[in-house]
Amino acid sequence: MGIRRSEVGRREAFIVDMKEQLLLKEQTLQLRLNGQTDDERTLEMARREIENIHATQARIRKGVYGICTDCQEEISRGQLSASPYAERCYPCQNDFDRERKMQLTQAIQHGSQNGIM
C-alpha cells in the first residue's frame, strides 16, 4: 500500500513536471510563430506541435493524461518521457498505426481507381 501510494505521488510529480515542460515548449513555439522568421514548413510543424500540446494539456486537465485511450492502461513514464503527447500505449499505438496504414493504402488504391490520384 505504501509503495503504491508513493508510486502515485511520483506519477503526479511527473505530470506536474510535464505540465511545465508543455507550457515552456508552447511559449517557445508561439514565439517562433510570431517571429515568422522560419520557412513555411517549419512554421507548419510548430503549429502542429502546438495542437499536440493543447490536446495533451486538455488530457491533463481531464485527469486522463498518461492513460491509453484504447485499453485504459497506464502508459509507462518511459514512453511518456520519449513521446509526451502519446495517447496510446505502445501495443495499442502499433495496432492503430497498422490499421491507419491499411486504410491509407486502401484509400490510395480506391482513389487511383477513380482517377483522383
Please say whether the dihedral angle defined by the alpha carbons of residues 49, 89, 76 and 79, taken in this order, is positive or negative: negative
What's the grid cell of residue 107? 484509400
Residue 77, C-alpha cell as written in the block: 513514464
Residue 92 binds Zn ion (CB under 5 A): yes
User: Residue 71 CB, nearest distance to Zn ion (Å)?
Assistant: 3
DSSP string, 21-65: HHHHHHHHHHHHHHHT-S-HHHHHHHHHHHHHHHHHHHHHHHT-T
| 33/79 with CB nearer Zn ion | 79
Is 53 among the residues that bind Zn ion (CB under 5 A)? no
* Residue whose CB is less far from Zn ion, 53 or 89: 89
**Could you tell me the smallest distance in angstroms from the CB atom of residue 69 to Zn ion?**
8
| Residue 71 binds Zn ion (CB under 5 A) | yes
Q: Is 68 among the residues that bind Zn ion (CB under 5 A)?
A: yes
**Judged by CB, which is closer to Zn ion: 91, or 111?**
91
Interface positions with Zn ion (CB under 5 A): 68, 70-71, 89, 92
